Amino acid sequence: MTESMLNKARALLQKVKRRSWMKYALRGVGPNDNHQRLDLAYSISDPWNMDSPAEISRFEGTNRIIEREFGSFDTLLELGCGEGHQTRHLARLANRTYGLDVSEKAIERARQRLPDAKFAATDIFGQPWSGEVDRFDLVTACEVLYYMSDVERTLGRMSELGRNCLVTIFAPAARRVGPHLDRIPGLKKDWIWFGGTVWLVCWWRNE
């Protein structure tokens, strides 16, 4: 067996192991704030396969929209930062970057990935930087609203914390999350495509 064939076999095995683990770890996880099971998912590294071409394309597409609509800015808060894969892209646009995730394991890896950013293991209602940042220039929530029991309250808190806000959601989830977003005054939309995968990008300004 050639080295190329061995590498493909290893990649396939890793893919099967990741899928099997996530099927177990996310059992019972839905729009229910199940922080314990979400933390369990991070018992393996990169459980969401954030290094995949599809996710990297989403990161780059999100950055392009942010640059087009907001340019560069001082402060950015990322809700649901995970291990910091997308944070690394978002940080290119901001002078100061902050990230939140409910998983302690994920936050530990995010700190290693971006030592100059600030991270906290909590949700958006427990973010600890109110004394340091009066209001963030941009607050993002990419691929995380699906797991929250109160999407409306979360979006409201994002608007309180950010001068501008941006959300991405996997297009099939728009049926549940979309109506909450559509109630936001001045909402703008765009799309990111990768092969047959589509994400909806929504943003709004609060001042």
CATH of the domain at 186: 3.40.50.150
What is the reported pLDDT for 4? Answer: 65
Residue 15 falls inside a structural domain: no
- Quick one: what percent of the chain has pLDDT higher than 70? 92
Within-domain flag for 87: yes
Q: Is residue 3 part of a domain?
A: no
The owner of tokens 């300004």 is 205
Q: Which two tokens stand for residue 176?
A: 């549940």
Residue 17 in any domain: the answer is no
Residue 12 lies in a domain: no
**Helix or strand holding residue 142 (H, E):** strand 138-142
- For residues 82 and 142, the answer to whether their CB atoms sit within 8 Å is no
pLDDT at 2: 75
Least confident stretch, 26-30, 155-159, 160-164, 193-197? 26-30
Number of structural domains, the chain?
Answer: 1
For residue 149, the model assigns a pLDDT of 93
Query: 184 and 155 in contact (C-beta within 8 Å)?
Result: yes
Q: Which of 16-20, 66-70, 94-98 is predicted least confidently?
A: 16-20
